[in-house]
């Protein structure tokens, strides 16, 4: 359990950070959030927040879509986050959860004319899926939310019912994760992570117009794959059956990090083991996030 939260403009003990059952966001899912990781670097005895700026920029964009007025700039949010981690004396890998939401207590579905609130907490965090080196996944029977109904580009709390439905179906059916198709029957992403496949040695990922969350890990991988390994990513729609014939496939996201997919709908991906490109990108990613790659140190914000 965390000790503190940032709530109603100040740091408070976590047990004081409580929201009413009448809160608008609790009733209607009218909030948005971020998920940021901080990585502990043992040699330097330092905690690094990974791409915090980009997370808070996306947070601001989500708020804009939801008519939420955030009283803090990207820089101020970064300062509050580092301060919270120092108060927690966090010296381990940590997950940070900022939330912006409609706090008004009362009935009536809308986005305008409501009180906005911001809250933040952080918890120690390891793996998100158990089998990071070989997940067995299925194509979900649930479709991804679509931009003109519930925009996937905003990280909206209520929208995560879509992720939860597909995740639970996958787990109850004996899989580790789900891949979700959009209303055009194209691949969008995993239940809470973006997806890449490899075909003929090339990285392919759905474009931002396929009802994906515009993932920061996705952008990270596209950049360092190009700069470090000369691997370009093709952003184009992906058909369901391309999943079955791909040489490699992997999920990526703040939570899942980089996780190899080794079977899809009971068909082995490639050799059925983590592929060479996935392995290389995965290893490099773990070095980057701990601040071990000089060229990408600018993505890592020290807490201490």
- Catalytic residue, chosen from 18, 87, 102, 155, is 155
Binder to ligand PMP among 12, 14, 29, 35 (CB under 6 A)?
35
Q: Is 205 in the site for ligand PMP (CB under 6 A)?
A: no
Task: Tell me if 213 contacts ligand PMP by CB under 6 A.
Answer: yes
- Residue 192 interacts with ligand PMP (CB under 6 A): yes or no: yes
Taking CB under 6 A as the binding criterion, the range among 234-242, 253-261, 266-274, 288-296 that sits at the site for ligand PMP is 253-261
Show the binding pattern over residues 267-286: x = contacts ligand PMP (CB under 6 A), - = does not: --------------------
DSSP secondary structure of the chain: --SEEEETTEEEEGGG----TTBHHHHH--EEE--EEEEEETTTTEEEEESHHHHHHHHHHHHHHTT---SS-HHHHHHHHHHHHHHHT--S-EEEEEEEEE--BS----SSS--EEEEEEEEE---SSS-TTSEEEEEEEEEPP-TTTS-TTS-BGGGHHHHHHHHHHHHHTT-SEEEEE-TTSBEEEESSSEEEEEETTEEEE--TTSS----HHHHHHHHHHHHHH---EEE---BHHHHHH-SEEEEEETTTEEEEEEEETTEESTTSS--HHHHHHHHHHHHHHTT--GGGGGGEEE--
For ligand PMP, the closer of residues 87 and 233 by Cβ is 233
> Which tokens in the block code for residue 70?
């955030």
Shortest CB 195 distance to ligand PMP, Å: 9
Contact window for ligand PMP (CB under 6 A) among 73-81, 92-100, 109-117, 247-255: 247-255
**HSE value, Cβ hemisphere, 13 Å, CA-based, for 111:** 14
Q: Is 210 in the site for ligand PMP (CB under 6 A)?
A: no
Q: Minimum Å distance from CB 18 to ligand PMP?
A: 25
Give the footprint of ligand PMP on residues 146-175 (CB under 6 A). Answer: 163
CB of 193 to ligand PMP, least distance (A): 5
Q: Could you say whether residue 215 binds ligand PMP (CB under 6 A)?
A: yes
Q: Does 29 bind ligand PMP (CB under 6 A)?
A: no
Residue 254 in the binding site for ligand PMP (CB under 6 A): yes
Q: Could you say whether residue 179 binds ligand PMP (CB under 6 A)? A: no
155 is catalytic: yes
Catalytic residue set: 155
Residues in the site for ligand PMP, rule: CB under 6 A?
35, 163, 189, 192-194, 213, 215-218, 253-255
């Amino acid at each position: 359990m965390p000790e503190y939260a940032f709530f109603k403009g100040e740091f408070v003990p976590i047990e004081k950070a409580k929201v009413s059952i009448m809160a608008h966001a609790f009733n209607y899912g009218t909030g948005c959030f971020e998920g940021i990781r901080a990585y502990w670097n043992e040699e330097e005895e330092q905690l690094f927040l990974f791409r915090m700026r980009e997370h808070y920029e996306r947070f601001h964009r989500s708020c804009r879509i939801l008519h939420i007025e955030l009283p803090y700039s990207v820089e101020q949010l970064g300062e509050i986050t580092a301060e919270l981690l120092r108060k927690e004396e966090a010296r381990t890998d940590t997950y940070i959860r900022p939330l912006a939401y409609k706090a008004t207590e009362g009935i009536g579905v809308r986005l305008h004319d409501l009180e906005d609130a911001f809250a933040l907490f952080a918890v120690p965090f390891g793996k998100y899926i158990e089998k990071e080196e070989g997940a067995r996944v299925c194509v979900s029977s649930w479709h991804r939310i679509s931009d003109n109904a519930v925009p996937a580009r905003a990280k909206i709390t209520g929208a995560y019912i879509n992720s939860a439905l597909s995740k639970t179906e996958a787990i109850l059916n004996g899989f580790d994760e789900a891949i979700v198709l959009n209303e055009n029957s194209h691949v969008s992403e995993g239940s809470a992570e973006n997806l890449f496949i490899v075909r003929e040695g090339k990285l392919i990922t759905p474009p931002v117009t396929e009802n994906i969350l515009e993932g920061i890990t996705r952008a990270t991988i596209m950049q360092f794959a190009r700069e470090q390994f000369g691997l370009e990513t093709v952003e184009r729609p992906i058909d369901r059956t391309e999943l079955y014939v791909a040489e490699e496939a992997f999920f990526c996201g703040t939570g899942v990090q980089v996780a190899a997919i080794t079977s899809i709908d009971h068909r082995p991906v490639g050799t059925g083991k983590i592929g060479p490109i996935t392995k290389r990108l995965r290893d490099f990613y773990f070095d980057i996030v701990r601040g071990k790659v000089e060229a990408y140190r600018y993505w890592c914000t020290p807490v201490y």
